[in-house]
Amino acid sequence: MYTEKVMDHFTNPRNVGQLENPSGVGEVGNPTCGDIMRIYIDVKDNVIQDIKFKTFGCGAAIATSSICTEMVIGKTIEEALELTNKDVASALGGLPANKMHCSNLAADALHEAIKDYKNKSEQG
C-alpha cells in the first residue's frame, strides 16, 4: 500500500517539533479525516533556514510533512512557494489515491506559514 520511502518518513520523521521564535506558522486540516498539520519556518535573508512540523494524522500525513520539510530547507521563499502537494507525493514515490486529498496537506501548510511570515514582515 505505501512505498518504502513513505514508511521511512513515517517511522523516522525528520524535523519534528516546533521552533522557539518562528518567522511564520501555518496550519491546515482536513475535517473529513481529522488530519491536522502545523509547520513552523525560520527565514533569514529570504531563505528558509529551519523548519519544523507537528502533525496529527495517519502515516501518510506524517510522511508528507516530514519530506516536505526536507524539500524546502535552504530554499528561497519563492522556491518554496512553488512546491505543490503533487511534488510532495512524487518525492515519496506516490501515495494511495484515497490518501492524496486528506493526508497530503504539507505544501498547503508550508504556504500558510510563508503567508504568515510575509504578513509579519509587512507589519514589522
102 carries an active-site annotation: yes
Which residues are bridge partners to 107 per DSSP?
Answer: none
Catalytic residue among 16, 33, 58, 100: 33
Catalytic residue among 102, 105, 107, 113: 102
* Helix-helix angle 59-72:4-11, to 10 degrees: 90
Dihedral, CA of residue 16, residue 17, residue 18 and residue 24, to nearest 10: 20
58 carries an active-site annotation: no
Give the C-alpha separation, 70 to 42, whole Å: 14
- Residues acting as catalytic residues: 33, 102
